[in-house]
């Protein structure tokens, strides 16, 4: 008897076993695992011929590792048959059904990919159009676009393609894992006009409101009114600040307001100049200049809205140490363009190192602002006159090379900005490129954009003592231009008596 002969756990016959089953049972289970031929019986086995007509198959097909063979073909036919038998989703959205009340967010975390529903004819057409859309973007649907295609397939299988799809549902599915993506789906649905966008939410503004709500009621109401004023929504119109600045102001003023509330003060009208001075001077020196401007802004806003009688922080001032700019070492600046390889990074570095553009100006540059025939670049700055940059030969060549690279990589993008990334180029809304992209460029260079810009202005100031020249060349203000002139030419300090 064969040494490995044992009792089969299925047919109970003593045979050589593989994984607890004899050869006949293994073949039989493989034959009836995907029963596309209808040969499996309930409560018994199909009768088979023996000897020469018995089931025979080589071990490489039994192992299940081969990509070809009769069993693999049966598995493919079985999967196709199961997909054809899938029912239509009972959750299809009727486009003519009116909404009685706002529907709550759907819970996509309970989604089971194995229980997918069949696609409607409209959904199949939408998926084909989305595949063509991905190919136009230079993305192969089954490779780079498989995650986006899977997201749209789940949405259309569950909800259909007849009614608009909510942007919140797309983003919710995209958070389920790395095999789901939603950005290209949102852009495609928006382009087709079947996207229901979600309300714009400013995360930093929401955080500022949350910080204000954590204060006692009188203080919370005052801070909420302050935020409205900073947003330009007060009784008198004023330019609105960015949400990041507003959140920074509220966050820096919060500890001081909380300490006043804990000390027994119930209203900001009780605050005096001595209270403001004591609150600021008790802070470390590095924190004083970050708390002083928010407190001045808070009381100025409350005084303008007639919530307090006087501004206790109006006459409170702090000494400011003016730091003169210093040049960078020449060995650190030498060969700076060779530290980055791609054209976009070299163009970004040249705009800062040669023309001293501010780091925040780079994502806002528009395609229409670049005039290559005249060698000019228009820089739009909020609340100030536009600054015109006259490009040198190197920067002009890099700009031309970048436009060619941009058209080669994203020929169908409609983003109006000069600098785009992989994410912003795919968004049909035309957003700005993230500043993280430019930060990464200067991290590879090893020098921050602020220091590189300051070194360029300082180098120009060394060759001229005329502040008007710096103002015209780099779009500087009077104070900034004089600061660089003073640093480069200490003997040119203005006479304090005549000034």
* The 3-state secondary structure of 302-359, one letter per residue: HHHCCCCCCCCCCCCCCCCCCCCCCCCCHHHHCCCHHHCCCHHHHHHHHHHHCCCCCH
Q: How far apart are CA 169 and CA 495, in angstroms?
A: 66
Picking from 196, 220, 240, the residue at the C-terminal end of a domain is 196
428, part of any domain: yes
User: Last residue of some domain: 288, 304, 320?
Assistant: 304
Give the angle subtended at the CA of 345 by the CAs of 342 and 349, to the nearest 5°: 140
The whole-angstrom separation of Cα 150 and Cα 140 is 13
- Domain presence at residue 376: yes
Q: What pLDDT is attached to residue 89?
A: 80
List the structure tokens of 292: 């002083």
Domain total of the chain: 4
Q: pLDDT value at position 183?
A: 84
At 325 the pLDDT is: 66
pLDDT tens per residue across span 26-78? 777 777 766 666 666 665 666 666 666 666 654 444 444 444 566 677 677 76
- Its domain, for residue 293, covers 203-304
- Three-state DSSP class for residue 237: coil
Could you tell me the CA-to-CA distances from 333 to 217, 351, 470 in Å, in that order?
A: 54, 14, 21
Based on the domain organization, do 484 and 339 belong to the same domain? yes
pLDDT digits (tens, 9 = 90+) for 45-59: 666 666 666 666 544
List the chain residues with pLDDT less than 70: 1-4, 33-71, 74, 78-85, 113-114, 320-334, 492-499
Q: Are residues 345 and 453 in the same domain?
A: yes
Domain assignment of residue 89, yes or no: no
């Amino acid at each position: 008897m064969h040494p490995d002969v044992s009792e089969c756990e299925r047919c109970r016959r003593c045979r050589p076993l593989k994984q607890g089953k004899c050869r006949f049972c293994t073949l039989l289970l493989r034959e009836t695992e995907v029963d596309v031929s209808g040969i499996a019986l309930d409560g018994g086995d199909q009768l088979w011929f023996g000897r020469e007509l018995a089931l025979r198959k080589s071990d490489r097909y039994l192992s299940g590792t081969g990509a070809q063979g009769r069993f693999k073909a049966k598995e493919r036919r079985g999967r196709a048959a199961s997909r054809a038998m899938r029912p239509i989703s009972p959750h299809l959205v009727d486009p003519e059904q009116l909404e009685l009340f706002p529907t709550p967010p759907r819970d996509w975390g309970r989604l089971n990919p194995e229980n997918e529903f069949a696609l409607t004819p409209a959904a199949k057409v939408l998926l084909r159009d989305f595949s063509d859309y991905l190919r136009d973007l230079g993305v192969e649907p089954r490779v780079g676009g498989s995650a986006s295609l899977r997201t749209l397939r789940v949405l259309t299988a569950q909800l259909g393609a007849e009614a608009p799809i909510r942007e919140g549902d797309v983003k919710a599915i995209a958070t389920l894992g790395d095999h789901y993506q939603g950005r290209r789906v949102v852009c495609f649905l928006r382009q087709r006009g079947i996207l229901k966008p979600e309300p714009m939410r400013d995360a930093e503004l929401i955080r500022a409101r949350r910080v204000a709500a954590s204060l006692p009621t009188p203080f919370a109401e005052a801070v909420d009114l302050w935020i409205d004023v900073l947003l330009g929504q007060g009784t008198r119109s004023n330019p609105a600040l960015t949400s990041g600045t507003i959140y920074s102001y509220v966050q820096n003023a919060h500890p001081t307001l909380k300490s006043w509330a804990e000390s027994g003060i119930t209203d900001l009208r009780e605050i005096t100049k001595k209270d403001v001075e004591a609150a600021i001077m008790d802070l470390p020196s590095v924190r004083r200049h970050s708390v002083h401007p928010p407190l001045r802004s808070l009381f100025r806003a409350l005084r303008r809205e007639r919530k307090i009688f006087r501004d206790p922080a109006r006459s409170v001032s702090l000494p400011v140490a003016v730091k003169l700019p210093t040049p960078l070492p020449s060995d650190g600046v030498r060969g700076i363009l060779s530290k980055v390889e791609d054209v976009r990074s070299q163009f970004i570095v040249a705009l800062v190192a040669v023309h001293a553009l501010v780091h925040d100006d780079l994502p806002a540059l528009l395609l229409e602002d670049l005039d290559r025939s005249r060698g000019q670049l228009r820089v739009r700055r909020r609340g100030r006159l536009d600054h015109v940059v006259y490009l040198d030969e190197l920067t002009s060549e890099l700009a031309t090379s970048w436009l060619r690279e941009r058209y080669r990589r994203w020929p169908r993008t409609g983003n109006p900005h000069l600098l785009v990334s992989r994410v912003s180029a795919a968004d049909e809304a035309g957003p700005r490129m993230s500043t993280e992209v430019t930060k990464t460029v200067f991290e590879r260079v090893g020098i921050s954009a602020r220091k590189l810009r300051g070194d360029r202005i300082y180098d120009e100031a060394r060759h001229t003592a005329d502040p008007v020249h710096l103002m015209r060349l780099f779009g500087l203000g009077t104070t900034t231009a004089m600061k660089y002139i003073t640093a480069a030419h200490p003997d040119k300090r203005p006479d304090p008596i005549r000034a």
